[in-house]
Structure 1
Amino acid sequence: MINVVIADDDDLVRAGIRAIVETSPEITVVAEAGNGGEAIAQARKWRPDVVLMDLDMPRCDGLCATRRLLTEPDPPKVLVLTTFGMDENITAALHAGASGFLMKQLTPQQLIHAVSTVVAGGTVLSPAVTQQLLTHVARPGSQRKARIRAMAAKLSEREREVFGLLGQGLGNAEISEQLHLTTSTVKTHVSRILVKLEVENRTQAALVAFELDLLPATGA
């Protein structure tokens, strides 16, 4: 069972998200929060697998809550939900280690799949959000392209295979199955990839994969 906390300052939005995710027999909503402070308190109380985090909330906002939650021991996965075409806070949440970014205008199936994906260690990036994140984070340009291509060139052949699947949002178990490797071996490859690409987490690595045209433009 996947335990979820929903953090959003709109009662109707929380009710809608709860109704959607609980159609899955594998997901249960253990608590709701109307602001970031409540999200932190509920996460500490219930130790959920995932926090569905709105960014625009009163008092401690979603960014504040994400930063604090992800410094906790054994933190939950944070899946950011936003209604904005672009919010600068998303880039900060990315650096804090959020596992995914979705526009709220998504289908129920996409949301349920996203929750399952991040729990399995994967990354979920809405194409609309990703494109705009690249504008702010990656700053596409010939100099940037040359730099990331040079870093990617440091990857071994096996690391390139793992990197391509990581960029598609696959978790370690899925990568392990596709490449016929042990999960521990995949974890080792992922750690080395992050070091060689000079990124802090899988989500940032997935953005690099997107910029290198390795991340599909389809999905949640």
Structure 2
Amino acid sequence: MNPTALIFDKDGTLFDFHATWGGWSRGLIEAEAEGDPVRMAAIAAALGYDLETGRFAPDSIVIASTTAEIADAMLPHLLGCDRQALIARMNARAAEAPQVPAVPLAPLFAELAARGVALGLVTNDSEAPARAHICAAGLAATFGFVAGADSGFGFKPGPGQLLACAEALGAAPGTCAMIGDSLHDLQAARAAGMVAVAVLTGLAPRDALAPHADLVFDDIGALPAWLDAGAITQA
């Protein structure tokens, strides 16, 4: 049975995680540490980020955490820093971060829309940066529902965002598929009673995601062929 709605994660799913956030994260760390190498190293370690390579560890908290959770990991190394001010700076910087698409997005989503499937986006990023990113990618009118961790529906791995998305799109949860790159995405799909589809354009490797997914694709470019083949329901 084909799903009636596809619900997408953002970072690591629509956009390649390392290519998008690697260099940006170094800039954030350097700015917040005011160039102090000791504080930079401490913040990088807290985030699971390698300052030498500009890459994240597979178990980095950045993979699926909210902006507030990432800020909380940084705060012990930023003495006297105001939490809300830090979150505001992070959101402002994130909104301006150039996004590197995992695949050519405009033609893919045109294909998906042509199949009559409803489309939604749920992310543990904040909503304002998420909307800025999809707008910059030419997808402003693509999604019938967009929610971030600060939108009032909770955040992944909880099911709240996904259930709100399904309701907004007029789709029963059991007829929806959640597509994401992290265990949080797959756990949220399970909690919401949706098909769990993993992609490998984030930080988590196949062997970490496969036991928790109904299927695993290299990237979201495989979705049209999957739909054409009749898709699946939950395993």
**Shared fold (TM-score, shorter chain, > 0.5):** no
Q: State the TM-score, normalized to the length of structure 1.
A: 0.33
Q: Hey, which of these two has a bigger chunk of helix by percent?
A: 1
Task: Tell me the TM-score normalized by structure 2.
Answer: 0.32
